[in-house]
Structure formats: C-alpha cells, structure tokens
C-alpha cells in the first residue's frame, strides 16, 4: 500500500485494537513490574522502593526452581503429545470420513469442562476407575490411586492436559487443513504421490503456519498451567506436582510474599518468552522456506 | 470422500483400522463429558458411591439438580448477562483483531513489528501477575469496575493478542494480495477492500476464533469475579458460587449447572461448524 | 445428516431442560420419604419478640459483608434480609468463590477501591490486616459477652468472633454398639490405650478398619499437626509461647514430648485407617458416607463436617459425638479429657474506606446478631453456628455442634488457637502427607517442621 495513507490506515485499522490491548494487558503488566521493585505487600498504603531485593528472594526460593524444573519436564511431554495427537486427529477429520462432523463435535467437548468439575471427574478416573480396573485385573499399575504416587500423579497431569489442550488444537489444525486448497492435494494425487510422501512433502510445509501457532500455544499454555494443576492435584502428593505458575500464586497469596511472588511471575514470563520466541523463530523459518 | 474411492483392499483395511483407532480415541475424549451428563441426573450420594452405574438402576434419578441449579443461579438473569458480555466482546474482538492483523500483515513497518512482537510476548504473561495491578488501576484509580462495559472492554483486550496472532497466521498463508490489488485498481478504498474482499475470505478463521473466544468469555470465571460484584450483573459461571462449600461441593448441582451453561456454546459450535465448511467451499469456488 | 440430527438432539435436550426447569416439575421417581439426600428441614424462627433498639437514622444505608464460610451463604442472606426488614439497612452478602482464598479476595477488593464493609475471615487474615485496615472494636458492648474468645492485636480487638468450632475423633455410637453388641459409653475411653483397645475389639467384631482419616493438607497440616502447639498447656498463650521457642531455636522438637505423643496418636489413626492401603487416595465425601453407613465408626474431623454427614443420611437425632484426640496413657492429662474448641471465623470491620454511617450500620448489625432475639436465633438455628456469646440462650440442633456446645459449657473443652503463618498448613500439610504415605519417617517429619520454623523471620 501507499505510505501516504499509512497514518490514516493506522488509525482506522490498528489503533482501536491496539488501544484495548495496551490498556488492559501492557499497562497493568508494567505496573506489576514496577511493584516487583517495591516492598508492597498487596494491602499496605505505602510502597517503598527496595531495588532488586525481591529478586534475591526469588533466587533463594529453592522450591520455585524445583517447580520450574518440573514444569520443563511437563512442557516437553505435553507439547509433543498434544501436537502429534491433535495433528493426526485433525488430519483424519478432514479426509471426508463418515460422520466427521459428529466426531468433531465430540473432540470439542474437552473445551466445555473447566474448573472444579474437570478436577473432580478426572480424580474419579484416576482414583476410582483405575483402582477398580486394578482390582479386577490385578495389574500393578492400577493398584492404588494414581494421584497418591508422585510419578503417576505427574503422568495424570500430563494426560489431562493433553486431553484438554488437544481438543483446542484440533480446532486450529482443522481450520488449517480446511484452508489447504483442494487443487494442491488433487495435483499431488495425480502426480502419484502416496500417503506418507504427500504428507511430508506437500501437506506439512503448507501446514507450517498452523504448526507454528499450535506449538506456540501449547508451549505457552503448558508453561502457564494453573487450572488443571490446582483442580486435579493441587500439588499433591506432598507438594511433588506443584508447577511454577501454581507456586507463584501460592507464594504471593498463601505465603503472603507478594513482591517475591510477583517477581517470580516475571521470571517465569521471561523464561517462557525466550523459549517460545526461539520456537516461533525456528518454525517461522520453515514456513518461509516452504 | 475423494480418498476412499481410490485404492484397493489394502487401503480399505488401513482405513478401517484408522476408523477404529479414531473411535477409541473419540470415546476417551467424550468420556468425561458423558460422565457429567450421567451424574448431573444423580444425587450426591450416588455420585460419590457409584459414579459409573447405569442411570436407571439408581434410586432417585431426577432432574432435581437442574431445577435447583436453574433457580439458585437465577439462570435467566445470569444468562442474559453472559449473553450481553459474550456477544459484545466476541464481535468487538473479532472485528478489531482482524483489522489490526490486516494492518500488521500489509504494512511492513516498525509499528507492525513492535506491535506484533509485543502481542506474541504478552500471550505468555501469567494472568496472576497482572491481576492485582489490573484491579488497582481500574478500580482504585479509575473506579470503573462493576460495569458490564468494563468487563467487555477487558475481555476484548485480553483476547486481542491471541486473536491477532491467529488472524495474522491465516492472512499470511491464505489470502493472496493479488485480489486486493485488483480491488484498488477498481477504485476501492482500503476500508472497502478490507470489508468487501478480505473479511469474507477470512470466514474459516473467523468461525474458529468466534467459537474459541466466545467459549473463553462464556466460561471465564477469574476476570468477571474481579470485575463484577453486583449480584444483578453476575455471569453464569459466577452465579454457580453457591454450589461450592468450604470442605465439599454440591457435585450434582454443579454438573447440572455446567450443562445448562454449555448448551448454548454447543449450539453455537454446531452452527459455526457449518460456517467453517461453507467458508471453505466458497474459497474453492472463487 | 448426522450433524443435523445431533444439533436437533441438543436443541431438544436444552429445550426440555429449560421447560422442565421453568415449570418446576420433576421427572423420574417420586421423592422417597427416607431419601437420605432430602434437604434438612429448617428450624422455625420465632419473630414475635424483638426488643432491639434500631437506630432509625441509619435507614437506607447499604453495607457489604464478604462471606468466606460458603456453607452459610444462604443462611446469611436470609439473616440480612430479616435485618433489613427491621432496620432498613441493606446488607449485601458477597461470597468468596471457589479458587479464591478469602485473603486474595479481600486484597483484590481493597485494591479495587471497593472493600467490603464487613469481612468474615480466618484469624490469621485478621491479624495480617487489622492494624492497617480494620476499625477498632475494643469498645463494643459484645466484647463482654465473648470473653475468652476475642483475638487481640497489641491489646486491641479488631474482630468479631462469629463461631466456635471444635474438632476431635467423631464417633457413630449406634454403629459401635451394633458391631460390638453392647452399649458404648464415650466417657469410658480415657487414654490412647483404651482407644486402641476399642479399635481392636471393633476389628475382631468384623469391622476391618474402623476409622477414616482425611488426606487433605488442611486437615493434616492445620487440624492435626497444630495439636503439638495447642496441647502445650491448652491455652492460646501457651501455643504462642511454644511457637516462639521453636522459632528461636530454644525448644528442641525431638525433646518436646507433645511431638512424639501426637505422632503416637497419629500412628494409631494411620494403622486403623479405612484406606490404609492407599491413604492418599482417600476421598473426603466418601468418609462421611462411610461413617453414616457404618462402614467405619470414627472420623477425625470437626463439627463443620455435619452438613456432609447429614447429606450422607445422618439425622439430628442420631448419636454422634466427639472423643478427645488421645495422645498418651495418662487419664489425668487434659488432652485425654477435653476436646479442642476455639473461635474460628472472625468478622472484621473496614475502618479505612467505609463512611461513618456505613461503619455505624455495620456495628449495629453485629450488635443485632448478639443482642436481638431474632439475631440470636438466626445465628444458631439458621446458620447452625455455635455462638461464642454467653448471652445467647439457644442451643445448636445437630449432634456434633451440640456435643461441642455442651463440652464448652461443662469445661470439657480447651480453647487454644495457635496463630501460625498462613502457609503453615500447606507446607507442613505436605510433610504430613509424606509421613501418612510412609514415604518419610518421624525424624524427617520433625526436621521439616523445624526447617519450616527456621525459615520464618
């Protein structure tokens, strides 16, 4: 477009949305960053500037770092499994199989259940269904509730997150597949490309923008996991499944160290931003190549 | 449909296997939702003692939970509130985000790149980190909490980044600039080009974003709970508060309440799915 | 085709639900008179006598009350409606919802510039906020009626004690008697050895594991572990003293007898736990059902468990009550004779943002609860609360609260509240879970308690 009308374009197209975004997200965020440099406890009337004292508190909080480590492990599992499953299901659901709309509606349902119900239903599954399976089959893995063993409780968290997030990602991948033009696919079949080769050489490159989006979303959501963590395990058994976001919240409000909690949130943000920035950079590069 | 007709028996076997696999995964995905439906018809004791038992073997199966949820939630009023907030915020964010994304994609200048990076980065901000600053600014300083408009504005702001990100991806990959250039030659202004040519082409992604955003607004708990305290303004999720006790919760009513809340969203999804398909068909015809 | 059909089904379903709800009719089976899930009948309130002096100048004032005791939300709304009809003061009851802690809610409300006039909070929250935000209530008349139950911060009272809550080992007498085939007198159990003997006899009589033990961190970290402070000498001052000593490193927890005594008692609960096989897989709601059904005979909990028991089928006339948390074999030790009961929830009055008139109205509301005939009744009957006020003549109706009430009045309860940092229950609750699951031993548990206190400033 011509640069002459740039200013007007900016005002009509960009400004309204940008204003909402800045006012609601960025301004409070900056104010929050400022608060990490004060000794404000959330309620008192005065805020004294204390420099980086809260960040010293972050470094000293060993619990935070171990929760972060656990979060890394969790993120790796979740990101890989979610994307593989969601991609595969979305692909199947856009091939014109019978009843695909019915299926799509079904895969959408995880999005509908949140909060305490989500935690309660899945607690049922891990502590009742599994145990009753264990009782009738004698399989060791199902003998006791999964939520009372640190390793299995972690696995349970991954499973529920995969279930919930992939429901969302399927939607996005489906939109991506629908956006692929039929011509490309038809041309490919005429050339005689078989299933796997077609997927690798033709579909994947065209789907890279969806992949970028989904990877980014799963990555950031997995790092930020809070709801599922709280409603399913709440850190149990004995604090072994407490992820970073939950720890930050607990620090600020349960341990009442508001400044340190706010600073930890900032650290978590920076780490996540670096990692997902790297991911977007890498996958975007593939998009350009395609 | 084009796929299944081509190929021999091997293909058929593979297809059958894939179908079977899909059905198994499908059941796993549906399972919790089915549990909610079944248990919403039971009473607490049965929910706890026999969550899986088939409905009609249980004494006291009834719609009591639904009646209770409906009255305790002040359903019609809460429904109205949720509807106003969700519809306004969804329309607003879809429109503004599509425009903003369009600007970013078509104007390669520093404002675009800064805005876009800022938005992508902001999606990683934990909500807990801005919760208190947010209420301090909008409540303590501006004193505009407890209005529906404030909530609509905040919903719009919070979902802006994600929506722009999605529109951006779609615009980049699927909308050829040639169409717009043709429109300019025909004498269209930028606004006309956008609304007449580009916006209709965005249908699949608009449908996806409408459903995702509407779902998020409709079910959101945390933000409305910070903004709204006046009982007359409570949205559906907020109005289920009375089902939760300190030590335990009224599970049957919660599940009934949940179903009452999500049915409108399910219907919206059904309707929009058709839109997604129509959008694609329209795209193929062009 | 399928899609259309599904959409139609959904629409149909929603319409059916809607119409059912609208007309209020019930499908399915007619309600059973013995239905255990039936709503508990509410006790009638006698509103004929009201000698309370209302200040007419306050008419039209509107105040807010933040409620963090979810189970009395509906009751409080009724109470405020009754108060409004008489005083003309509107009390808006705001709930603290799931996922929010009361403290977080109050903090966010103060930040939004719109704090509640009155807030029902836990004692630690009141102490954290008192001097910064709360109005001084030291001169209020009701302080005299609540002697022994007031929380003071630097010699001043900033909060209104709303209720007394007690905890111990809940028993179901009928079940014990049916299992053993003989009558059971709770007073005959006076030591840990007696209690263990009783448990053994129940096991012999066929009740494999007669006791329910919650795995929740608040139960383990607050209700269980805090016995080590509260039983120092059974007073709040004593609890404070022992905490100060541990914090300062002057008291070796290994050498402090109450720690090991507490763990002896806890080990007994652990051994007879109905879910001993998988103690961290226990389910809170199921425990209430097990006790009401007679699958178990005991449950470690407090009088707040009544709504759960009642939902599970227990009736007001049933024989439930508390045994003390036996910690040793000395029948003369007060821990084996008395059960712990102390004020739990407190109401704080905002002294920072509320106007004079709002504060006056809030003070009148508190006085109305204590002094008016109707307020007194509603506190006990509608809210089902054990009032800490001596002048309230009404007795609670459910067996658990009644037992606590009688013990408080017969000097069979000790009132010691340990004031611990807010994350005590969460951090040490996790340590207790580890011990409960046999993933740590006594020494490791004691070390983590010590480590926790060492970190406090």
Q: Which residues neighbour A131 within 8 Å (Cβ) at sequence distance 6 or greater?
A: A142, A143, A144, A145, C278, C281
The shortest CB-CB distance from C71 to any of B226, B246, B267 is to: B246
Asked whether the beta carbons of B264 and B195 are under 8 A apart, the reply is no
Q: Is the pLDDT of residue B16 over 90?
A: no
C132 contacts chain A (CB < 8 A): yes
Do the Cβ atoms of B249 and C3 come within 8 Å?
Answer: no
CA distance C144 to chain B (A): 30
Give per-residue pLDDT as tens, B149-193: 999 999 999 999 989 988 887 787 777 788 888 888 888 888 888
CATH of A61-289, one of 3.40.462.20, 3.10.20.340, 3.40.50.300, 1.10.3720.10: 1.10.3720.10
Q: Is the pLDDT of residue A233 over 70?
A: yes
pLDDT the model gives residue B236: 87
Mean pLDDT within A182-188: 66
B62 contacts chain C (CB < 8 A): yes
Spatial distance between the Cα atoms of C214 and C226, rounded to a whole number of angstroms: 15
pLDDT the model gives residue C98: 57
CA distance A227 to chain C (A): 9
CA distance A158 to chain C (A): 19
CA distance A179 to chain B (A): 7
SS in 3 state form for chain C?
A: CHHHHHHHHHHHHHHHHHHHHHHCCCCCCCCCCCCCCCCCCCCCCCCCCCCCCCCHHHCCCEEEEEECCHHHHHHHHHHHHHHHHHHCCEEEEEECCCCCCHHHHHHHHHHCCCCCCEEEEEHHHHHHHHHHHECCCCCCHHHHCCCCCCCEECCEECEEECCEEEEEEEEEHHHHHHHHCCCCCHHHCCCHHHHHHHHHHHHHCCCCCCEECCCCHHHHHHHHCCHHHHCCCCCHHHHHHHHHHHHCCCCCCCCCHHHHHHHHHHHHHHHCECCCCCHHHCCHHHHHHHHHHCCCCEEEEEHHHHHHHHHCCCCCCCCEEEECCCCCCCCCCHHHCCEEEEECEEEEEECCCCCHHHHHHHHHHHHHHHHCHHHHHHHHHHCCCECCCCCCCCCCCCHHHHHHHHHHHCCCEECCCCCCCCCHHHHHHHHHHHHHCCCCCHHHHHHHHHHHHHHCC
Does some domain include residue C159? yes
Q: Is the pLDDT of residue A178 over 50?
A: yes
Confidence class for position C14, pLDDT limits 50, 70, 90 = very low
pLDDT the model gives residue A116: 66
Of B107-121, C24-38, C115-129, C304-318, the range with the lowest mean pLDDT is: C24-38
B285 contacts chain A (CB < 8 A): no
The shortest CB-CB distance from C284 to any of B70, B248, B266 is to: B248
The domain made up of B64-285 has a fold known as MetI-like fold (1.10.3720)
Confidence class for position C425, pLDDT limits 50, 70, 90 = confident
Chain B (107-166) residues lying within 8 Å, Cβ to Cβ, of chain A:
107, 109, 111, 115, 118-126, 128-130, 132-134, 136-137, 153-154, 156-158, 160-162, 164-166
pLDDT the model gives residue C36: 39
Asked whether the beta carbons of A145 and A126 are under 8 A apart, the reply is yes
CA distance B232 to chain A (A): 23
Helix, strand, or coil here: B7?
Answer: coil
pLDDT the model gives residue C324: 95
Chain A residue numbers touching C421 (CB-CB < 8 A): 255-256
Give all chains having 3 or more CB-to-CB distances under 8 Å with chain A: B, C
Residues paired with residue C323 on neighbouring β-strands, in sequence order: C169
Chain B (54-93) residues lying within 8 Å, Cβ to Cβ, of chain A:
none
Range of the domain at C353: 56-163+344-389
Q: Is the pLDDT of residue B95 over 70?
A: yes
**Residue C301 and residue C264 share a domain:** yes
| Domain boundaries, given as residue ranges, for chain A | 61-289
Q: Is the pLDDT of residue C35 over 50?
A: no
Do the Cβ atoms of C437 and A237 come within 8 Å?
Answer: yes
Q: Is the pLDDT of residue C2 over 60?
A: no
Give all chains having 3 or more CB-to-CB distances under 8 Å with chain C: A, B
Confidence class for position C20, pLDDT limits 50, 70, 90 = very low
Rg (CA), chain A: 23
Average pLDDT over chain B reads 81
* Higher pLDDT among residues B8 and B89, named by residue: B89
B-C CB pairs within 8 A amount to: 136
Q: Searching chain B, which residue's CA lies closest to the CA of residue A118?
A: B32
Spatial distance between the Cα atoms of B33 and B45, rounded to a whole number of angstroms: 20
B177 contacts chain A (CB < 8 A): no
* Higher pLDDT among residues B254 and A159, named by residue: A159
The shortest CB-CB distance from B244 to any of C22, C97, C313 is to: C97
The shortest CB-CB distance from C281 to any of A42, A116, A127 is to: A127
Do the Cβ atoms of B246 and C311 come within 8 Å?
Answer: no
The shortest CB-CB distance from A20 to any of B4, B157, B265 is to: B157
**Residue C321 and residue C179 share a domain:** yes
Do the Cβ atoms of B29 and A107 come within 8 Å?
Answer: yes
B191 contacts chain C (CB < 8 A): no
* Higher pLDDT among residues C2 and A221, named by residue: A221
A-B CB pairs within 8 A amount to: 242
Do the Cβ atoms of C313 and B45 come within 8 Å?
Answer: yes
CA distance C130 to chain B (A): 20
**Residue C213 and residue C140 share a domain:** no
Give all chains having 3 or more CB-to-CB distances under 8 Å with chain B: A, C
**The two three-digit tokens of residue B269, written as one number:** 């999804």
Asked whether the beta carbons of B135 and B199 are under 8 A apart, the reply is no
Give per-residue pLDDT as tens, C162-177: 999 999 999 999 999 9
Asked whether the beta carbons of A90 and A170 are under 8 A apart, the reply is yes
The shortest CB-CB distance from A101 to any of C2, C111, C277 is to: C2
* Higher pLDDT among residues B279 and C158, named by residue: C158
- Report which listed range, A116-125, A185-194, B136-145, is most confident: B136-145
Q: Searching chain A, which residue's CA lies closest to the CA of residue C132?
A: A44
Does some domain include residue C77? yes
Does some domain include residue C411? no
CA distance B23 to chain C (A): 16
Confidence class for position C12, pLDDT limits 50, 70, 90 = very low
Chain C residue numbers touching B140 (CB-CB < 8 A): 111-113
Give per-residue pLDDT as tens, C46-61: 887 888 888 889 999 9
Does some domain include residue C400? no
Of A247-251, B139-143, C371-375, the range with the lowest mean pLDDT is: B139-143
Confidence class for position C17, pLDDT limits 50, 70, 90 = very low
In whole angstroms, how far apart are CA B196 and each of A259, B202, C174? 50, 11, 78
Do the Cβ atoms of B169 and A210 come within 8 Å?
Answer: yes
**Residue C318 and residue C301 share a domain:** yes
Rg (CA), chain C: 24
Mean pLDDT within B223-252: 80
pLDDT the model gives residue B93: 95
**Residue C384 and residue C307 share a domain:** no
In whole angstroms, how far apart are CA C169 and each of C193, C212, C404? 15, 10, 12
Among the listed residues B184, C428, B133, the one whose alpha carbon sits nearest the alpha carbon of residue A47: B133
Mean pLDDT within C1-27: 39
User: CB-side exposure of A136: number of CA atoms within 13 Å?
Assistant: 5
Chain A residue numbers touching B205 (CB-CB < 8 A): 175, 179
Distance, CA of B273 to chain centre: 13
Mean pLDDT within A243-249: 88
Confidence class for position C62, pLDDT limits 50, 70, 90 = very high
Spatial distance between the Cα atoms of A13 and B195, rounded to a whole number of angstroms: 11
Q: Searching chain B, which residue's CA lies closest to the CA of residue C99?
A: B222
Q: Is the pLDDT of residue C227 over 90?
A: yes
Q: Is the pLDDT of residue C29 over 50?
A: no
Distance between terminal CA atoms of chain A? 25
Chain A residue numbers touching C280 (CB-CB < 8 A): 145, 147-148, 236-237
Asked whether the beta carbons of C261 and C288 are under 8 A apart, the reply is no
Give per-residue pLDDT as tens, B206-226: 888 888 898 889 888 888 888
Mean pLDDT within A184-204: 69
Count of structural domains, chain C: 2
Of B177-191, C189-203, C314-328, the range with the lowest mean pLDDT is: B177-191
Spatial distance between the Cα atoms of A89 and C103, rounded to a whole number of angstroms: 44
A134 contacts chain C (CB < 8 A): no
B131 contacts chain C (CB < 8 A): yes
pLDDT the model gives residue A205: 79
pLDDT the model gives residue A94: 80
Q: Is the pLDDT of residue C457 over 80?
A: no
Give per-residue pLDDT as tens, A68-109: 999 999 999 999 999 999 998 888 888 777 777 788 878 877
The shortest CB-CB distance from A254 to any of C215, C422, C431 is to: C422
Do the Cβ atoms of C37 and B45 come within 8 Å?
Answer: yes
The percent of residues in chain C predicted with pLDDT above 90, rounded, is 57
Does some domain include residue C36? no
Q: Searching chain A, which residue's CA lies closest to the CA of residue C440?
A: A238
Give per-residue pLDDT as tens, B72-81: 888 999 999 9
Give per-residue pLDDT as tens, C400-409: 999 999 999 8
B260 contacts chain C (CB < 8 A): yes
Average pLDDT over chain C reads 86
pLDDT the model gives residue A102: 80
Scan for tokens 């000097």, then name that residue: C411
Give per-residue pLDDT as tens, C70-112: 778 888 999 999 999 999 999 999 888 655 678 888 888 888 8
A132 contacts chain C (CB < 8 A): no
Chain A residue numbers touching C121 (CB-CB < 8 A): none
Asked whether the beta carbons of B95 and C41 are under 8 A apart, the reply is no
* Higher pLDDT among residues C186 and A42, named by residue: C186
**Residue C368 and residue C433 share a domain:** no
The shortest CB-CB distance from A144 to any of C98, C111, C278 is to: C278
| Domain boundaries, given as residue ranges, for chain B | 2-57, 64-285
């Amino acid at each position: 477009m011509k640069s002459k009308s740039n200013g007007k374009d900016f005002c009509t197209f960009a400004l309204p949305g940008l204003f909402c975004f800045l006012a609601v997200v960025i301004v409070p965020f900056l104010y929050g960053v400022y608060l990490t440099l004060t000794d404000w406890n959330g309620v008192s009337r005065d805020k004294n500037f204390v420099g980086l004292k809260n960040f010293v508190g972050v470094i000293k909080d060993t619990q935070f770092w171990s929760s972060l480590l656990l979060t890394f492990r969790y993120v790796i599992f979740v990101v890989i499994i979610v994307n593989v499953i969601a991609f595969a299901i979305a692909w199947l659901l856009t091939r014109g199989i019978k009843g695909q709309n019915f299926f799509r509606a079904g895969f959408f349902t995880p999005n509908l259940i949140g909060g305490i119900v989500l935690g309660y239903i899945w607690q049922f599954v891990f502590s009742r269904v599994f145990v009753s399976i264990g009782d009738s089959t004698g399989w060791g893995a199902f003998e006791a509730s999964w939520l009372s063993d640190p390793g299995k409780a972690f696995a349970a968290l991954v499973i529920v997150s995969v279930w919930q997030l992939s429901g969302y990602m399927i939607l996005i991948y489906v939109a991506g597949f629908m956006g692929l033009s039929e011509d490309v696919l038809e041309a490919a079949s005429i050339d005689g490309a078989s299933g796997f080769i077609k997927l690798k050489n033709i579909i994947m490159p065209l789907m890279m923008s969806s992949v970028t989006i989904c990877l980014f979303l799963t990555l950031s959501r997995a790092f930020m996991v809070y709801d599922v963590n709280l409603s399913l395990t709440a850190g149990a058994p004995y604090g072994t499944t407490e992820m970073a976001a939950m720890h930050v919240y607990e620090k600020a409000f349960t341990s009442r160290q508001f400044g340190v909690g706010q600073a930890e949130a900032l650290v978590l943000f920076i780490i996540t931003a670096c990692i997902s920035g790297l991911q977007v950079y890498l996958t975007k590069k593939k998009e350009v190549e395609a | 449909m084009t796929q299944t007709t081509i190929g021999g028996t091997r293909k058929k076997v593979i297809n059958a296997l894939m179908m079977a696999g899909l059905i198994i995964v499908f059941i796993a995905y549906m399972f919790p939702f089915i549990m909610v439906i079944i248990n919403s018809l039971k009473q607490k004791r049965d929910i706890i003692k026999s969550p899986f038992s088939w409905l009609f073997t249980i004494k006291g199966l009834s719609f009591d939970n639904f009646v209770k949820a409906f009255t305790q939630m002040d359903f019609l009023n809460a429904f109205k509130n949720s509807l106003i907030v969700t519809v306004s915020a969804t329309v607003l964010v879809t429109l503004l985000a599509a425009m903003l994304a369009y600007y970013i994609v078509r104007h390669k200048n520093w404002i675009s790149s800064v805005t876009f990076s800022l938005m992508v980065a902001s999606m990683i901000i934990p909500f807990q980190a801005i919760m208190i600053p947010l209420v301090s600014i909008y409540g303590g300083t501006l004193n505009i909490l407890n209005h529906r408009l404030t909530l609509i504005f905040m919903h719009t702001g919070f979902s802006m980044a994600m929506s722009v990100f999605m529109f951006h991806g779609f615009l980049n990959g699927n909308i050829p600039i040639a169409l717009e250039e043709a429109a300019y030659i025909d004498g269209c202004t930028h606004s006309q080009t956008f609304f007449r040519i580009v916006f209709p082409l965005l249908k699949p992604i608009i449908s996806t974003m409408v459903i995702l955003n509407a779902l998020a607004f409709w079910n959101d708990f945390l933000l409305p709970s910070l903004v709204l305290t006046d009982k007359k303004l409570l949205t559906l999720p907020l109005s289920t508060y009375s089902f939760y006790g300190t030590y335990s919760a009224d599970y049957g009513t919660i599940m009934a309440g949940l179903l009452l809340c999500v049915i409108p969203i399910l219907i919206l999804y059904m309707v929009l799915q058709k839109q997604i398909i129509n959008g694609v068909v329209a795209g193929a015809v062009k | 085709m399928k899609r259309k059909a599904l959409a139609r089904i959904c629409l149909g379903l929603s319409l059916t639900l809607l119409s059912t709800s609208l007309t209020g009719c019930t499908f399915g089976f007619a309600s059973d008179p013995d239905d255990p899930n039936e709503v508990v009948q509410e006790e009638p309130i006698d509103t004929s006598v009201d000698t309370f002096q209302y200040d007419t100048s306050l008419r039209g004032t509107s105040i807010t009350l933040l409620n963090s005791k979810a189970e009395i939300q509906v009751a409080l709304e009724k109470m405020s409606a009754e108060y409004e009809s008489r005083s003309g003061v509107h009390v808006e009851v705001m709930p603290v919802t799931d996922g929010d802690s009361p403290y977080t809610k109050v903090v966010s409300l103060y930040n939004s510039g719109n704090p509640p006039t009155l807030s029902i909070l836990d004692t630690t929250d009141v102490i954290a906020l008192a001097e910064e935000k709360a109005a001084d209530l030291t001169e209020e008349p009701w302080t005299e009626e609540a002697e022994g139950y007031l929380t003071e911060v630097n010699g001043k009272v900033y909060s209104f004690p709303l209720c007394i809550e007690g905890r111990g080992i809940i028993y179901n007498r009928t079940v014990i008697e049916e299992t053993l085939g003989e009558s059971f007198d709770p007073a005959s159990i006076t030591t840990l050895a007696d209690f263990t003997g009783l448990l053994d006899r129940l096991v012999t009589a066929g009740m494999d594991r007669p006791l329910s033990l919650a795995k929740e961190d608040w139960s383990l970290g607050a209700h269980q572990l805090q016995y080590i402070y509260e039983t120092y000498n059974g007073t709040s001052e004593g609890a404070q003293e022992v905490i100060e000593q541990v914090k300062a490193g002057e008291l070796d927890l290994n050498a402090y007898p109450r720690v090991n005594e507490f763990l002896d008692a806890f080990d007994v609960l652990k051994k007879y736990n109905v879910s001993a096989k998988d103690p961290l897989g226990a389910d809170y709601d199921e425990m209430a059902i097990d006790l009401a059904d007679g699958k178990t005979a005991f449950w470690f909990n407090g009088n707040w468990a009544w709504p759960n028991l009642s939902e599970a089928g227990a009736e007001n006339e049933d024989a439930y009550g508390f045994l003390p948390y036996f910690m040793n074999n000395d029948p003369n030790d007060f821990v084996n004779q008395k059960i712990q009961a102390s004020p739990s929830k407190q109401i704080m009055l905002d002294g920072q943002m509320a106007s004079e008139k709002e504060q006056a109205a809030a003070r009148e509301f508190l006085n109305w609860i204590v002094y008016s005939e109707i307020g007194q009744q509603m506190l006990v009957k509608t809210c089902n609360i054990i009032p800490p006020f001596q002048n309230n003549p009404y007795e609670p109706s459910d067996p658990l609260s009644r037992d606590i009430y009688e013990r408080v009045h017969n000097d069979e309860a000790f009132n010691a509240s340990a004031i611990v940092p807010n994350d005590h229950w969460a951090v040490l609750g996790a340590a207790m879970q580890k011990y409960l699951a046999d993933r740590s031993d006594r020494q490791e548990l004691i070390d983590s308690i010590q480590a926790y206190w060492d970190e406090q400033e």
